[in-house]
A and B are shown apart, each in its own frame.
Chain A
Amino acid sequence: MNAIAVSGLEKFYGDLAAVGGIDLTVAEGEVFALLGPNGAGKSTTVEILEGHRRRTRGSVEVLGFDPETGGRSFRERIGIVLQQTALEPELEVAEILATYAAIYPRSLPVDEVVEIVGLQEKRRARVKTLSGGQQRRLELALGIIGDPDVIFLDEPTTGFDPSARRQAWSLIDNLRQLGKTILLTTHYMDEAQNLADRVAVIAGGVIVAEGTPADIGGRAEGEATIRFRVGRDVAGEDLPPVARAGLDESDGQVTLETSTPTEALNEITSWAMERGLELEGLTVERPTLEDIYLRLTGGGGDG
């Protein structure tokens, strides 16, 4: 059963297609990441699913509701953490949580939520005395206080230091254990890789790749890069045919990309053995998720 189903989603601002035709489904209990640089259309997409923005075209279903018309009963079942932190600076953590808890028919106890997000020490602290990361955790607490079935997290860890990010990750992992469906956006590769069951890479308002973090963008069958060095005395025409084009004559470095690395290696190593050469610095590399991301999003934007 799909918690979220989107097809042909478009959102125009004037002539700008902020979202240019997106299809995606998120299964119940799945953690799904929308990964893309700034301006890719992540927030626009997520806020349409939350009911905050109206779509130009396409169909959207979240928990069987159309977010535009779902109203109160729809909002009782979702939790939202917006990209922008928005908190009353003069109120205390527990005060805000208690007031939001009362809005939902089956909310979690405030103390439990405070503990989940690790703000026990700050229960009675005013928002304005919290650090940015603590405020973000309070936002996360407000996102789950209503015990939602689907949780939307728009860049939950942007601006965090590495240890705060790890903490947030384990928190989101806890939510997954509780069976929550989570749709998160991020422009951090490692975040998507660590948290998500499935990732969609979004750029320029369209999804350019989708899959598990392990095989997204055809990573498994992607081009491999083979590198090694030969002595200055070796000329291009001495090399086996597969490696000839890859030689940099100034330093003897050979770099070649191939979709059939086994065969290429066989040629290269046979050639070396015949001549009794030891290939210095021989490596074979698969592209990392980061490489693929940068390639898919055209250099990665300014994120």
Chain B
Amino acid sequence: MGRDFRLILQQIKYQNRIFWRTPVGAFFTLVFPLMFLLLFTAIFGNDEIEELGVTTAQFYAPALAVFGAASATYTNLTITTAIARDLGILKKVRGTPLPPWIYIVGRVGSAVWLALLSGVLMMSVGVIFFGVEIIGRTFLAALISFLLGAGAFAALGLMLAALVSSGDAAPAVANATLLPIAFISDVFIVNANPPAWIEFAGNLFPLKHFVAAFGDAFNPGLTGSGFSWSAGAGEYAIGAHLAVMAAWGVGGAILALRFFTWEPRGGENSRRRRSRVSGN
């Protein structure tokens, strides 16, 4: 067991290293969300937004931290896992004594770690440059929400990787699912009175719950530590939000387990690659 634990840590480090050596992924996970924060505070100024009762940065920093976390887990895992499968790396790992679950935990652990890093970076920039206030009373609930949300989106990323046909298709599929949902999940646009169906759709998907569970922790107007099931008026509560995220995470994990393959996907794709390698 001690040996397996060391292997897990090592696999996480290995995946982290690959992440840092791939500038595109690092940019989208770490820099891209920050660009939105700069953009929004530049466009709207950093005064109090009337509908929300907090400053622009106080609202957007946590919302974009959640968006960064979703990129680090959902988008990144989908793309890197599908590419690793195409390259035959998953197959090769499967031929070693490394238990498959440790390899997967390494990937998920790395993604969650990078999500955390991206979140810390976002909140630090918010605090240092835009006067974002961190509230001690809600800190633990915020941290738990963040980790659970990142874990759920990691499971969904593995699910999508299992479902997409190739690494080429992965970025398009990941972005085409995440971005529209982000627009109805209070990440980029806040509309106090959206059409009912938008409200409904937003509540259906896990991202809005992620934004609420984490973001409300930074709303000084709310009371409570967050540890209650569902919010009364003016209260911060994560219970119901976490339940929705957990349900999505478990569903994603089940589908991932069901459809995950270690072999490159068959058909023309793998045949072309085979003949390229054998040089004819």
Residues of A within 8 A of B (CB): 38, 50-52, 72-73, 75-76, 80, 82-88, 90-91, 95, 99-100, 102-105, 126, 142, 146, 155, 158-159, 302-303
Residue numbers in B under 8 Å from A87 (CB-CB): 87, 89
Q: Which of B1-41 contact A (CB under 8 A)?
A: 6-7, 10-11, 14, 17-18, 21-22
Residue numbers in A under 8 Å from B131 (CB-CB): none
Within 8 Å by CB of B97, from A38, A75, A91, A302, lies A75
Q: Is B277 an interface residue (CB 8 A)?
A: yes
Once A91-B21, A103-B96 are accepted as A-B contacts, the answer to whether A82 and B91 lie under 8 Å apart by CB is yes
Listed from nearest, the 9 A-B pairs whose CB atoms lie closest are: A86-B88, A90-B21, A159-B279, A75-B97, A80-B95, A76-B97, A103-B98, A72-B97, A84-B88
* A142 and B89 alpha carbons, distance in the complex (Å): 12
In terms of DSSP, what is the predominant structure of the interface of chain A? loop
* A302 and B99 alpha carbons, distance in the complex (Å): 38
* A98 and B64 alpha carbons, distance in the complex (Å): 37
* A103 and B98 alpha carbons, distance in the complex (Å): 6
Q: Is B274 an interface residue (CB 8 A)?
A: yes
Residue numbers in B under 8 Å from A50 (CB-CB): 95
Residue numbers in B under 8 Å from A100 (CB-CB): 96
Number of interface residues of B (CB under 8 A): 29
Residue numbers in B under 8 Å from A83 (CB-CB): 274, 277-278
Residues of B within 8 A of A (CB): 6-7, 10-11, 14, 17-18, 21-22, 84, 87-89, 91-92, 94-99, 263-264, 273-274, 277-280
B98 and A303 form a contact (CB under 8 A):
no
B97 and A86 form a contact (CB under 8 A):
no
A85 and B277 form a contact (CB under 8 A):
yes
| Least CB distance, B272 to chain A, in whole angstroms | 11
B274 and A91 form a contact (CB under 8 A):
no
* A75 and B280 alpha carbons, distance in the complex (Å): 32
* A91 and B263 alpha carbons, distance in the complex (Å): 22
B274 and A146 form a contact (CB under 8 A):
no
A-B CB contact pairs (8 Å), 23 listed = A38-B278, A50-B95, A51-B95, A52-B95, A72-B97, A72-B99, A80-B95, A82-B88, A82-B92, A83-B274, A83-B277, A83-B278, A86-B89, A86-B92, A88-B18, A95-B14, A100-B96, A104-B96, A142-B92, A155-B278, A158-B278, A302-B280, A303-B280
| Least CB distance, B271 to chain A, in whole angstroms | 11
| Least CB distance, A2 to chain B, in whole angstroms | 22
Q: Which residue of B lies closest to A136 (CB)?
A: B277
Once A86-B87, A86-B89 are accepted as A-B contacts, the answer to whether A159 and B277 lie under 8 Å apart by CB is yes
List 9 additional A-B contacts (Cβ < 8 Å) besides A86-B91, A99-B11, A303-B280: A38-B280, A52-B263, A82-B88, A84-B88, A86-B89, A90-B21, A102-B10, A103-B96, A159-B279
| Least CB distance, A153 to chain B, in whole angstroms | 13
Residue numbers in B under 8 Å from A90 (CB-CB): 18, 21-22
* A80 and B18 alpha carbons, distance in the complex (Å): 23
* A90 and B17 alpha carbons, distance in the complex (Å): 9
Residue numbers in B under 8 Å from A72 (CB-CB): 97, 99
Residue numbers in B under 8 Å from A73 (CB-CB): 97
Residue numbers in B under 8 Å from A52 (CB-CB): 91, 94-95, 263
Residue numbers in A under 8 Å from B277 (CB-CB): 83-85, 158-159
* A165 and B277 alpha carbons, distance in the complex (Å): 15
B88 and A104 form a contact (CB under 8 A):
no
Once A75-B97, A99-B14, A104-B97 are accepted as A-B contacts, the answer to whether A80 and B92 lie under 8 Å apart by CB is yes
B17 and A91 form a contact (CB under 8 A):
yes
Residue numbers in B under 8 Å from A302 (CB-CB): 280
* A38 and B279 alpha carbons, distance in the complex (Å): 11
Residue numbers in B under 8 Å from A88 (CB-CB): 18, 84, 89
| Least CB distance, B190 to chain A, in whole angstroms | 39
* A146 and B92 alpha carbons, distance in the complex (Å): 14
| Least CB distance, B237 to chain A, in whole angstroms | 43
Residue numbers in A under 8 Å from B98 (CB-CB): 103
A158 and B274 form a contact (CB under 8 A):
no
* A155 and B10 alpha carbons, distance in the complex (Å): 31
Q: Which residue of A lies closest to B23 (CB)?
A: A90
Q: Which residue of A lies closest to B21 (CB)?
A: A90
Once A38-B280, A72-B99, A88-B18 are accepted as A-B contacts, the answer to whether A102 and B6 lie under 8 Å apart by CB is yes
| Least CB distance, A294 to chain B, in whole angstroms | 17
Q: Which residue of B lies closest to A96 (CB)?
A: B14
| Least CB distance, B276 to chain A, in whole angstroms | 9
* A75 and B278 alpha carbons, distance in the complex (Å): 26
* A99 and B94 alpha carbons, distance in the complex (Å): 14
* A272 and B58 alpha carbons, distance in the complex (Å): 108
B95 and A75 form a contact (CB under 8 A):
yes
| Least CB distance, A151 to chain B, in whole angstroms | 12
* A126 and B22 alpha carbons, distance in the complex (Å): 13
Residue numbers in A under 8 Å from B88 (CB-CB): 82, 84-86
